[in-house]
Amino acid sequence: MATEKTFTVAGTATLNGNTKVRFANDLVARIKILAKNNCTDINLVELPHAMTKMQALQHLQELGVTGDASFAVSTKLAEKTKLAKKGEIKVVGVKVAAKTTKVVAPTEA
């Protein structure tokens, strides 16, 4: 069974008017790459510990990101939640009527 990849940095960045959620393991290197590619409004934060994308998105929401970044985080979280639920199996129960049984008194021999 494969383990999910974890990240230590998460946040948002805007490129050509599109704000996207970004994940990384090195804050400085990621900021340099985003700036080199003409991204604006770069807002990356160090996570308290290594997290999966789902956990990181939940953490970003708890931090209270606002504006376009908030929309990007909530949209990506909804997408990840939908994918996570897709793998779940829903068990549907079938109602069964209980049969009445006749109690027979023990006979003495």
Q: What is the pLDDT of residues 64-80, one digit of tens each?
A: 877 888 888 888 888 88
pLDDT digits (tens, 9 = 90+) for 6-32: 999 999 999 998 889 999 999 999 999
**Predicted pLDDT of residue 1:** 43
Out of 7-11, 17-21, 39-43, 96-100, least confident range: 96-100
- Rounded distance, CA 25 to CA 7, Å? 5
How large is the average pLDDT for residues 40-62?
Answer: 89
Question: What average pLDDT does this structure show over 99-105?
Answer: 64
Q: Which residues contact 2 (CB under 8 A, 6 or more apart)?
A: none
- Pair 10, 51: CB distance under 8 Å: yes
